Amino acid sequence: MSGRSRKTIKGISFVLILCLLVNFLTVVLQEKWVEPESTGDTYIAEGFYQLDKNTIELAILGNSQAIRGFSGMRFLEKFGISSYCTASGAQPMVCTYYYASRMLKTQHMKAAVIEVGSLFESVTKPMIRRVLDPAPFSVDKMWLLWNYTKMIHRTQNLHTVSRHFWTLVFPVVQFHERWEQLTEDDFTWDEAEQFVFRGNTSRNTVKKVSLHLITENTDTDDKTEFKSRQIYYFRRLVELLKKEGIKVILVKTPKTGWSAGQSRLVQETADEYGVPFLDFNKEKLFEDAGFNMDEDFADKEHLNINGAEKLTDYIGSYLKKNVTFTECKITEKDRKELELYHRQRTEM
């Protein structure tokens, strides 16, 4: 072997070892969202990237209200619908658009349910990082990184935007100061018992709430407006899904603080795109779904497992009438997950 060949091999080996080291440090140092009391965002992302191709026909998109508001196991067991929820806590619409893009490339989707609560929430860096950090390298991730960087540094020059962009491409730079904050979870989080099922997590706690349900007589003339960054990517999301022939359903899970003005704005946008909007803060839909303010909520913004299964039953029946799904056969793996799901359902 010539001296040049040996140098080439050494150079390639050095680069490979460096890449492996950077990847290891990134995985260890990046923040984890894995507590059962949380929405388990890290597990949701990990599960999404491990999905087999063309095994999901229903995408559940949105924020924590989507994570807590639906049950993928219920969709599977009762309706034979294979679903996955790619939501994360306060997920910005630019991230929702990213997940939809990735799913379109790996799954044969027939319908997408979009929880619309994020349209009125501000975009924050921690919420975006929950999606950015676990994502493997891809063209779609680079697109998300660049658009996020432009979004938060829109008043800066191109040099500043580019510099921040590359720190996100190599997130280990962002986490180099986390050494003193590392815990056992940073090394063993993937060994914990499963509590995320098809991207959904549930709570069995019960909190009585007092929702001001919307009726035909409720005044909708308020000063409510969409967050500009959110509505921009929401429009792109709906247009993308419709272009691909995906049945789009907009949903607002019941929550305290949702206003009639917000409902009106979403309805106007839904009408613009010709897609249905099911707002369960409206008195009739709330009652049709069988919700009970004393039994179906974990807190003022999220449903508990009882409420999630009621919402899933309503949406599942609606989808069955409007979308032709391939009947999903329950596998041995599904049976084991269903058994664990039902056991945890009574213990949580």
Average pLDDT over residues 59-84: 96
DSSP 85: E
Q: Is residue 262 part of a domain?
A: yes
Q: Is residue 6 part of a domain?
A: no
- 3-class SS of residue 60: strand
Pairing of strands 58-61, 83-85: parallel
Q: Is residue 172 part of a domain?
A: yes
> What is the per-residue pLDDT for 92?
93
Residue 224 has a CB neighbour count (10 Å cut-off) of 15
pLDDT tens for residues 32-71? 555 666 777 888 888 999 999 999 999 999 999 999 999 9
Q: If you compute the radius of gyration of the chain from its CA atoms, what whole number of angstroms results? A: 22
Q: Is residue 9 part of a domain?
A: no
Q: Is residue 341 part of a domain?
A: yes
> What is the per-residue pLDDT for 225?
93
Examine the pLDDT at 154 and tell me if it is beyond 80: no
DSSP 340: H
Q: Is residue 110 part of a domain?
A: yes
> What is the per-residue pLDDT for 128?
79
Average pLDDT, the chain: 85
Displacement of CA 311 from its chain's centroid (Å) = 17
Helix (H) or strand (E) holding 113: strand 111-115
DSSP 279: E
Q: Is residue 16 part of a domain?
A: no
> What is the per-residue pLDDT for 43?
83
Contact 32, 42 (CB under 8 A): yes
Q: Is residue 26 part of a domain?
A: no
**For position 301, which CATH number holds?**
3.40.50.1110
CA 84/CA 60 separation, integer angstroms: 6
Helix (H) or strand (E) holding 318: helix 305-322
Query: Per the structure, how many domains does the chain have?
Result: 1
Stated pTM of the model: 0.86
> What is the per-residue pLDDT for 209?
95
- The whole domain housing 77 covers 31-347
pLDDT tens for residues 298-322? 999 999 999 999 999 999 999 999 9
Q: What percent of the chain has pLDDT over 90?
A: 57
DSSP 226: -
**Confidence label for 191 from pLDDT (cuts 50, 70 and 90):** low
Average pLDDT over residues 12-25: 58
Residue 48 has a CB neighbour count (10 Å cut-off) of 21
User: 203 versus 294: which is more confidently predicted?
Assistant: 294
Examine the pLDDT at 153 and tell me if it is beyond 80: no
